[in-house]
Structure 1
């Protein structure tokens, strides 16, 4: 068995040696190399190194998948070999310089919304637990009926489940200011202004219990509780405005003038221009997404479940974070999650079939843990380490995802949150949907597993692929 030091050395040799590496960093599961010449990288050789679960090149980075825990130890060995280490932020900046404008836009989208996701995950779990506790059968265990639940308890659960969405614009504006170089606390205050209790509440206006303030008799002014796009656009404009003001204000007055002018100008622009325009755009996007997700006969689940992991490979899946946030803020439910979960589970089912069918100890040691990782919601090891490498298992996983997504759409499954899938995702369906949730995931896994076992993989395919790789090297 190779040591971590020898594994680090093998990886470096396979990517063209230290002279081909500008810097290295790591995330939770992957080493990220900034390489000078991608043509010097022998990807097949990298993937054959012990403990490596896969490798791919994206947005200026050659990324080697090692898995949680392992990546930290291999990274330490690589740094000790004399390679320049780099912070994640520095490497991200360097990667942006090498990526296309489209990739940069998607990366920026992810940088803004990903830090917000943990609190929305927690909120979704709170919603799921509240749904479980308020079920009549569960309440009966405590000798309580739905009509006799203490109001204080309901109030407490509302604090847990509603706060993040009520103040969502503050979270988004804070994160957007942070990404675009503004002062995050100014962004947060701007976001809080958008949901000020002095403004007509957005939910009350939508339900007809309140009326928007009409400026100049035609500009509606309301609060933006639960809105995404107005805060996002306001955050971009506000961060750029703050930076411009700061360059023109004397240092001695910067502390007073810059935040004052930024907030004054941006709240006027946000309430009178950005808010009305982009809230309407947001509503159009939401209505379109809702229409697609409500297509009859499970069509939406079939399409989304079948194509989702293809989108994951391209790295543009962060765009859908905004959609899920909008769905949860508007409807307190997320039908997209159940469909996507099936696509994740199916890739795990395909990798499981490969792991159980192969006689190769190395591939078995790679495929089985990768499948379990997918069942926990992380598909990278399964996709890049196993399924894509042999091609057909990935396709069978797409078919399994389509089958599970079809049923999820047909059953009308709706999560109470986002970002967690498969086994951890069960917590989002405790409001009476958990059995159907398990069923659609089992179907997705079973279809992918059976198809992969029968048509998607054999050790003969593995030998042929290795032979072709050696001949082309």
Structure 2
């Protein structure tokens, strides 16, 4: 306890003292500090504090990487010192006020989709488990064949694997209303209207078994099961419309009039204007994505695997959530996951090389746990605490990610879900792909490790530099 208190006091002092701190919040791995004057931060001093795995300034916040569990304890000590904390969502509002243009737009996009990812991860795992238990080899262990599986069991598995995608528009409109200041339950109902069973099923229409309803002989009206963009745009417009209506409605009528007008206007716009237009846009995005992923000779895997962690550093990687969601919804698999998994694994391999090669006890204690974190799918400690700090290990990790992504593209690996990588990601490749998945990850790790060991790190150059 005393050690954590000392660390908390050290961080406060290194960022300019209590007077320079506007607010403090934390996420799963990082302490997020908003300061009055960025120039008063002594980043090197922060990074030399025990248990700190790295620090950087991004999106208006000074972010100190402490790791899961540790960050909660340090945050508690900071609160005990009387420094006012804020929730992460409250800090995000402050950050948005300071950001402009495309960075703000992309952060907002991430705020909408990040809360939805856990249910999509669970759905992907359900798909992987179903694929595993339905394999003839697995069934044969119990003396069964696919023909022996009852329709009721298949129905149960379909509930597990299909529900999140069927009602995806409802999840998106709920989250979008929440982010843009609307009433989330109104957004939820709007999304449910978009997938109403009274509308022609989108998948049935796509398969030719069902026909779209035609209004004015040229406007196709269908359900939007699994759609992303129509729900997202409808959510943005709906939240802003609700707020505008509320300003002009007397308080004693607000409970009745505001939700009534919001839902009436928005379902009309969504079905007859927003939906048809952005469904076409969505199809073009999916076609372009599939075309890039199908580039010959593994080129797409090489490029994506190399550049992915650079995109992660910029903080705009959440924009690819839409792409992965559409790949899963339309194709029932996700070829993007295996490629970015290699980029994650490679950064872990580079950090592992630094940890094993260095004689510095502090760096070893930082690099080895950071590499393990990367192998569990979280690269922040490895990137910001080790690889970027010394430069070359990060570049060697990029090369390893590119080589691994190249192999993943050649092998045409297809995940059953999204958002989990490296060791946890094995659960997405249980459908006869596990050997290939392990191979590309090991390849990425070995390449990054070997290059870092031989060319990417030297105590003589780096530790001496830090002590001067």
TM superposition score category, shorter chain reference = over 0.9
Q: Aligned to 1:268, what secondary structure does the other structure show?
A: helix
Q: Aligned to 1:226, what secondary structure does the other structure show?
A: coil
Deviation at 1:148, TM superposition (A): 2.6
Q: Does 1:395 align with 2:395?
A: yes
Q: Aligned to 2:352, what secondary structure does the other structure show?
A: helix
Deviation at 1:87, TM superposition (A): 2.0
Q: Does 1:3 align with 2:3?
A: yes
Runs of 4+ in 1 over 6 A off after TM superposition: none
Partner Cα distance (2:378, 2:425) in 1? 12
Given that 1:393 and 1:452 are in contact with CA atoms closer than 8 Å, whether structure 2 keeps it comes out as yes
Normalising by structure 2, we get a TM-score of 0.98
Partner Cα distance (1:285, 1:79) in 2? 46
Q: Aligned to 2:438, what secondary structure does the other structure show?
A: helix
Normalising by structure 1, we get a TM-score of 0.97
Deviation at 1:6, TM superposition (A): 1.6
Partner Cα distance (2:9, 2:86) in 1? 19
Deviation at 1:77, TM superposition (A): 1.8
Counterparts in 2 of 1:158-169, with a 5 A limit? 158-169=158-169
Deviates further, 225-234 or 73-82: 73-82
Partner Cα distance (2:464, 2:391) in 1? 13
Runs of at least 5 residues in structure 1 that lack an aligned partner in the other structure:
none
Q: Does 1:284 align with 2:258?
A: no
Partner Cα distance (1:465, 1:328) in 2? 48
Deviates further, 135-144 or 86-95: 86-95
Residue in 2 aligned with 1:144?
144
Residue in 2 aligned with 1:228?
228
Deviation at 1:2, TM superposition (A): 7.9
Render the CA deviation track for 1:115-157: whole Å, top value 9, x for unaligned. 1111100000000000000111001012111233211111111
Deviation at 1:464, TM superposition (A): 4.3
Q: Aligned to 2:220, what secondary structure does the other structure show?
A: strand
Q: Does 1:254 align with 2:254?
A: yes
Q: Aligned to 1:214, what secondary structure does the other structure show?
A: strand
Runs of at least 5 residues in structure 2 that lack an aligned partner in the other structure:
none
Render the CA deviation track for 1:272-329: whole Å, top value 9, x for unaligned. 0000000000000010001001111111000000000000000000000111111111
Q: Does 1:438 align with 2:435?
A: no
Partner Cα distance (1:29, 1:359) in 2? 26
Deviation at 1:101, TM superposition (A): 2.3
Given that 1:2 and 1:50 are in contact with CA atoms closer than 8 Å, whether structure 2 keeps it comes out as no
Partner Cα distance (1:5, 1:183) in 2? 40
Partner Cα distance (2:149, 2:460) in 1? 63
Render the CA deviation track for 1:160-197: whole Å, top value 9, x for unaligned. 00111011111101111111111111111111111111
Q: Does 1:107 align with 2:107?
A: yes
Across the aligned residues of Structure 1 and Structure 2, the Cα RMSD in angstroms comes to 1.2
Partner Cα distance (1:407, 1:127) in 2? 24
Partner Cα distance (1:219, 1:263) in 2? 20
Render the CA deviation track for 1:417-440: whole Å, top value 9, x for unaligned. 111100000001111111110110
Partner Cα distance (1:137, 1:428) in 2? 18
Partner Cα distance (1:89, 1:227) in 2? 26
Paired positions, count: 468
Partner Cα distance (1:8, 1:168) in 2? 41
